[in-house]
Amino acid sequence: MALQIDSVSAEARARRGWLRESAEDEDVAPGSPRRISIFGLGYVGAVSLACLARDGHEMFGVDIDPGKLELLRRGQAPIVETGIQELTRAVMRGGTVSVTDSVRDAILATDISFVCVGTPARQNGNQDLAAITRIAEQIGAVLPEKSTRHIIVIRSTVKPGTLDEVIKPAIEAASGLQAGRDFSLCFQPEFLREGTSINDYDNPPLTVVGADDPYAVEALRGIFGHLPCEFMHTSVRTAEMLKYACNAFHALKVTFANEIGRVSQAAGVDPHEVMKLLCMDRQLNISSAYLRPGFAFGGSCLPKDLKALLYLAKNNDVELPMLNSLLPSNAAHIDHAVDRVLASGRRSVGMIGLSFKSGTDDLRESPLVVMAERFIGKGLPLCIFDPEVNVARLIGANRRFIEESIPHIASLMTTDLDALVRDSDVLVVAMKTPEVLAALRAHTRPDQLLLDIAVLPERESYRAAYQGVCW
């Protein structure tokens, strides 16, 4: 087999110049019908096959299961889904759909392939990539026979890095060709829900293509650009990760609603009314608010109210595993930031910001106060700048909190921001006021570490070694 692959690769190499030229010269108008193959006729594959055929494309469905192929030949969908039987019957009668178990026939007959094979979980939780790797190798073995540039679109859910580290090497090894030059490879996550998949196909929240290959991006824009949503082009790894982020967020929302339901039930409250009102808040609750990677939460409300809710649940013998995990997860985020500083081996630390939120003097439950305590405990010289915090003016609960947490905080504070930036080995930056940005641009130096927990703009303008706390 190795000798056969090498022989084919040599032949392919001899005509690559013409192949690339012909692919780049190929003129397909946006929205024009394409010849498309679908590998894997399970849930995503069967729906995609029917919808793309309905939209006017010539389709080739590929699967190793003869039962699925026979059902499709009879005009029956291999899945149970609202509207899919009628749509499958219509497109099969239309004569624009063929099905086969031959990878070679499908690749030679089409110019774009969507790979929708399963990536099931192994016993240890990792993905089983056997099927998608096998398909990649089989597709790669056929590519040298083609005289035009083929586009391979992975729709199977895979971990970030899988295209670059597993699928691309498998195709290149089997073909002797190079991704991005002789064939195109990209990732397009799907957002189909079982039960409403045809409607979801026609009305997606957005279309995302992960690719560094403009040829593939424009081809997919021609296929999906008519849909009533934004067409987003991003990196392959971002697109791979997006699918996991979406599914994890959906699982989180279901679990959150159920845990609120259980504790509401125990407290004699109608949880459906609670969640109905919660969802009416489009500024903070059902919005992009708080959904940006940054630093830990704190302040006078979130920590104490979460603790009170958990106490209510405990008193009513209600288990809330997810909500119980929030405070430990928040603490782990602070630990992560502290560990980044300690791992640098640098000594003196300058903290820019101390209150739980920029623009306030509230130090209660501030994660930055926790960080300051940790640095002091480790014996690191510490200097703090926060123009909103004046220890002498603190009153009430805010003052009591500081007296109990860091009673000698006044001796650590400075009003000389420029000197703090110049004299510190590590800068922990939690503010991005114009004053702070100007000091960072003017006084940072290459031997410093800048740990950003404020999502600073213009990062290239700071001379210190830059690290985001979780980016």
Strands 58-62 and 382-385: unpaired
212/340 same-domain check: no
Domain end marker among 194, 215, 234: 234
Number of domains in the chain: 3
Q: Answer yes or no: do 220 and 82 share one domain.
A: yes
Shared domain check, 393 and 285: no
Annotated binding site for substrate: 191-194, 243, 290-294, 298, 357
Query: What is residue 19's predicted lDDT score, i.e. its pLDDT?
Result: 39
Residue appearing with tokens 């903070």: 284
pTM (predicted TM-score): 0.86
Q: How far apart are CA 429 and CA 414, in angstroms?
A: 15
| 177 and 247 fall within a common domain | no
Whether residue 423 sits in one domain with residue 379: yes
What's the confidence (pLDDT) of residue 25?
Answer: 42
Residues designated as active site: 301
The reply to whether 99 falls in a domain is: yes
Domain annotation covers residue 396: yes
Q: Quick check: is 104 in a domain?
A: yes
pLDDT of res. 3:
27
Asked whether residue 92 falls in the same domain as residue 203, the answer is yes
Residues of the chain whose pLDDT is less than 70? 1-31, 391-399, 401-403, 405
The reply to whether 319 falls in a domain is no
> In sequence order, what DSSP letters do the residues of 35-63 get, joined into one string?
EEEEE--SHHHHHHHHHHHHTT-EEEEE-
Contacts for 406 with CB less than 8 Å, ≥ 6 apart? 369, 372, 373, 376, 412
146 and 256 assigned to the same domain:
no
pLDDT of residue 6: 32
Q: Do 389 and 253 belong together in one domain?
A: no
pLDDT digits 0-9 by tens, 444-455: 999 999 999 999
Q: Is residue 316 part of a domain?
A: no
**End of a domain among 234, 265, 282?**
234
Asked if 191 and 216 touch (Cβ cutoff 8 Å), the reply is no
pLDDT at 365: 84
Amino acid sitting at position 71: L
CATH code where residue 200 lies: 3.40.50.720
**Residue 69 domain-assigned (yes or no):** yes
DSSP 353-400: --SSSTT----TT-HHHHHHHHHHHTT--EEEE-TT--GGG--HHHHH
CA nearest neighbour of 226 among 54, 355, 432, 366: 54
Does residue 30 lie in a domain region? no
Do 202 and 270 lie in a common domain? no
- Strand, helix or coil for residue 20: helix
State whether 185 and 41 are in the same domain: yes
Residue 31 token pair: 């929205």
pLDDT for 403: 67
Q: What is the pLDDT of residue 345?
A: 95
Looking at the fold, whether 286 and 386 belong to one and the same domain comes out as no
Distance (Å) of CA 409 to CA 73, 108, 370, 415 = 77, 72, 12, 13
CB 310, CB 320: distance < 8 Å: yes
CA 68 to chain centroid: 33
Please report whether residue 347 resides in a domain: yes
CB 53 within 8 A of CB 96: yes
Annotated binding-site residues for NAD(+) read 63, 68, 119, 157, 194, 304, 364
Q: How far apart are CA 261 and CA 320, in angstroms?
A: 10
Query: Annotated binding residues, as ranges?
Result: 63, 68, 119, 157, 191-194, 243, 290-294, 298, 304, 357, 364
Same domain? For 255 and 188 the reply is no
Which contiguous run of DSSP H or E holds residue 209?
A: strand 206-210
Residue entry with tokens 């096959």: 49
pLDDT at 30: 62
Q: Which domain holds residue 394?
A: 328-468
